[in-house]
Chains A and B, each alone.
Chain A
């Protein structure tokens, strides 16, 4: 019902663009939560065992990059 009403007042292309932008925003939430958890746990690990900070930072950097890949997939899906 709502979608029919939206289609009646909006150009189909504009609606598709708008929805894909919303989808991209939603797709960026997951990696954001993932990076937040990852960094929080890493900082906790560095505080508990400072001698392991180098290894933790290495793993954290790679983990952030892997989580970012999900956001990039969302970006690609939005445009394709």
Chain B
């Protein structure tokens, strides 16, 4: 793999994407629980609301990681601009999706909102256990080798 020049050191490592993929993987694991909870709360509309919320959260993490990873390979200025601009853009997209979901009668909106917040915070707190923060592995902790 050819080295990519960037003012940001370790820019060639896709650290953000590694974390976001792990978050999305955990969101998939969490999906059955959230969908069943949504179904218990408001039948099919609740289950659909929970599913849409999880897709929105996972998509948000992945888009954020892709944008920040790209910006880190460009420059520190681009990283700053992308972090702030990306926040506004993604918040706008989530708002538009939320307004759209609210118009749908087949989706239970309070369930969508509760799952959106709970899954976002829950996934992040869960992810903190998997983050390594060492010089050798700045992203996730390496998995234990199976005997």
Task: Give complex CA distance A47, B87 in Å.
Answer: 23
* Minimum CB distance partner of B68 in chain A: A61
Q: Are A32 and B84 in contact (CB under 8 A)?
A: yes
Task: Give complex CA distance A43, B76 in Å.
Answer: 6
Contacts of B102 in A (CB 8 A): 79
Q: Are B10 and A53 in contact (CB under 8 A)?
A: yes
Q: Are A51 and B135 in contact (CB under 8 A)?
A: yes
Q: Are A46 and B9 in contact (CB under 8 A)?
A: yes
Q: Are A72 and B116 in contact (CB under 8 A)?
A: yes
Within 8 A of B (CB), among A22-71: 24, 28, 31-32, 35-36, 39-40, 43, 46-47, 50-55, 57-62, 64-66, 68-69, 71
Q: How many chain B residues touch the partner (CB < 8 A)?
A: 46
Shortest CB distance A22–B (Å): 14
Q: Are A73 and B117 in contact (CB under 8 A)?
A: yes
B19 touches A (CB below 8 Å): yes
Contacts of B72 in A (CB 8 A): 57
* Minimum CB distance partner of A47 in chain B: B76
Within 8 A of A (CB), among B67-88: 68, 72, 76, 79-80, 83-84, 87-88
Shortest CB distance B20–A (Å): 8
Instruction: Give the secondary structure class of B's interface.
Output: helix
A31-B65 contact in complex given A54-B13, A57-B138, A72-B116, C-beta closer than 8 Å:
no
Cβ contact of B19, chosen from A35, A39, A61, A66, cutoff 8 A: A61
Task: Give complex CA distance A71, B110 in Å.
Answer: 17
Cβ contact of B79, chosen from A43, A51, A58, A76, cutoff 8 A: A43
B98 touches A (CB below 8 Å): yes
**Chain B contacts to A: CB under 8 angstroms:** 8-11, 13, 15-16, 19-20, 60-61, 64-65, 68, 72, 76, 79-80, 83-84, 87-88, 90-91, 94-95, 98, 102, 109-110, 113-114, 116-117, 120-121, 124, 127-128, 131-135, 138-139
Can you show 8 pairs from A to B with CB atoms below 8 A apart? A35-B83, A39-B84, A54-B9, A57-B72, A60-B83, A64-B68, A75-B94, A76-B117
